[in-house]
Structure formats: structure tokens, C-alpha cells
């Protein structure tokens, strides 16, 4: 619970000296009940994804058609408008959740200010607007903001049978030489001086 600014201002007016007011204010803040730690709500961002989302900006109808006809992963088109706060929030949610499903879900983002032809052709006029495609066929269409748990449930519903792609293999230890160990503390050079100091 935050200490209300108006209450602290009134407290300062009622007390004759700054020192007494500061003392009373610190006591009031210390006496305020602390909220119990709880689990983050479903709409709160979780930890950063370990892999970035597979994101493609779609700027023309040809790239849009090529994107949705891709075989294999679940292809999600996200129509958004920069003037819509829900669209901006949905961008953040999709970036976060998309990282969890990298390799199985690919996201195509269409900014309808930059690519109005796609929005007109697809008859999209409400934002944010998602369309999910699997092997070139639309499997679901959703309009409106969704929280993280809703997007995860939506993706889980449609990724059945899509294999999890492994992260790119890291080079083996035999291929890369081990870096030379450098001591954490090194002796200073004989004539070292701090920056800005000159020897007389």
C-alpha cells in the first residue's frame, strides 16, 4: 500500500519544523502494512523468454500470402494499429509468449498504417486482431486483447503434432579453445597515475 501524497502534504503543514515532519513521515511509512508476497497475476509479464519470438513484419500482400501458406509451424498473423493501446499491449504479450513457442509458432505482424492494403483485403477493422493458420488454412480468428494465459492456451490448442525444434547446436569444446584465465586482480604498472593527474 502506497502512502498517499495528499496525506503526507497535510502532515507537513500540520507540523512546525521540517525535521519533525520528516521524522513523522518516516514513522508513518514504516508503520504502513506491507503487502504479502503473492504470485504474479496471469496478465503480468513472466520472466523473459529464453529464445526470441519468431517474428516477421509483413508489409505487402505478397509477403502476407507467403507467410500464411508456410507449412509446419503455427502461423499467427497479428493485425495492429499503433494508435491503439490494446494493440501495443498485445505486441508485448505476443513477443513474450512467442519466445516460449519459438520454432513451433511464427508471428507475422501487420501494422495497418504501414500496410493498409493487407487490412483492407482481409477485411480487418478491429484491433488487435489475430488469425491462426496451420498448413495454409485458417484455424482460428480472435479480435481483442488477450492476457498471457489466454494466448498460451490458444497456442497450445493448435500446436498439437508440431515437433519442438531444438536450439542451434553450440560449438563443441574440442572446436573452441578455452580462453586464457586472467587473474581478477592485477598488479598496477610502475608509473600508473589516475586519469587527469600529471607527474611533476
Structure confidence at residue 175 (pLDDT): 53
> Are 88 and 94 within 8 A, CB to CB?
no
Structure confidence at residue 99 (pLDDT): 87
- CA contacts within 13 A on the Cβ side of 180: 2
The ranges of the chain with pLDDT < 70 are 1-52, 165-184
Structure confidence at residue 10 (pLDDT): 47
Question: Could you give the CA distance from residue 189 to residue 186 in angstroms, rounded to a whole number?
Answer: 9
Structure confidence at residue 16 (pLDDT): 46
Structure confidence at residue 53 (pLDDT): 74
For the chain, the first-to-last Cα distance in angstroms comes to: 59
Structure confidence at residue 33 (pLDDT): 60
What domains appear along the chain, each with residue ranges and CATH number? Answer: 54-158 (3.40.30.10)
Greatest Cα pair distance in the chain: 80
Structure confidence at residue 26 (pLDDT): 63
> Are 151 and 101 within 8 A, CB to CB?
no
Residues near 34 by Cβ (< 8 Å), separated by ≥ 6?
none
In this predicted model, what pLDDT tens digit does every residue of 166-177 receive, in sequence order? 544 444 444 555
Question: Could you give the CA distance from residue 197 to residue 146 in angstroms, rounded to a whole number?
Answer: 59
Number of Cβ atoms within 10 Å of the Cβ of 165:
13
Question: Could you give the CA distance from residue 13 to residue 17 in angstroms, rounded to a whole number?
Answer: 9
Amino acid at each position: 500500500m502506497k502512502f498517499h501524497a495528499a496525506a503526507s502534504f497535510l502532515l507537513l503543514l500540520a507540523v512546525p519544523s521540517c525535521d519533525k515532519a520528516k521524522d513523522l513521515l518516516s514513522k508513518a511509512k514504516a508503520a504502513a502494512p506491507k503487502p504479502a508476497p503473492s504470485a504474479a497475476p496471469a496478465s503480468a509479464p513472466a520472466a523473459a523468454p529464453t529464445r526470441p519470438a519468431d517474428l516477421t513484419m509483413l508489409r505487402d500482400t505478397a509477403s502476407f500470402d507467403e507467410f500464411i501458406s508456410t507449412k509446419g509451424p503455427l502461423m499467427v498473423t497479428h493485425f495492429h494499429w499503433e494508435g491503439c493501446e490494446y494493440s501495443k499491449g498485445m505486441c508485448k504479450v505476443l513477443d513474450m509468449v512467442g519466445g516460449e513457442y519459438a520454432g513451433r509458432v511464427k508471428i507475422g505482424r501487420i501494422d495497418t498504417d504501414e500496410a493498409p492494403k493487407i487490412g483492407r483485403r482481409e477485411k480487418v477493422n478491429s484491433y488487435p486482431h489475430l488469425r491462426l493458420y496451420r498448413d495454409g488454412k485458417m484455424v482460428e480468428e480472435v479480435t481483442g486483447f488477450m492476457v498471457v494465459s489466454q494466448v498460451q492456451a490458444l497456442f497450445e490448442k493448435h500446436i498439437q503434432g508440431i515437433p519442438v525444434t531444438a536450439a542451434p547446436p553450440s560449438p563443441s569444446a574440442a572446436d573452441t579453445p578455452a580462453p586464457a584465465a586472467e587473474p581478477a586482480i592485477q598488479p598496477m604498472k610502475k608509473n600508473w597515475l589516475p586519469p587527469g593527474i600529471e607527474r611533476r
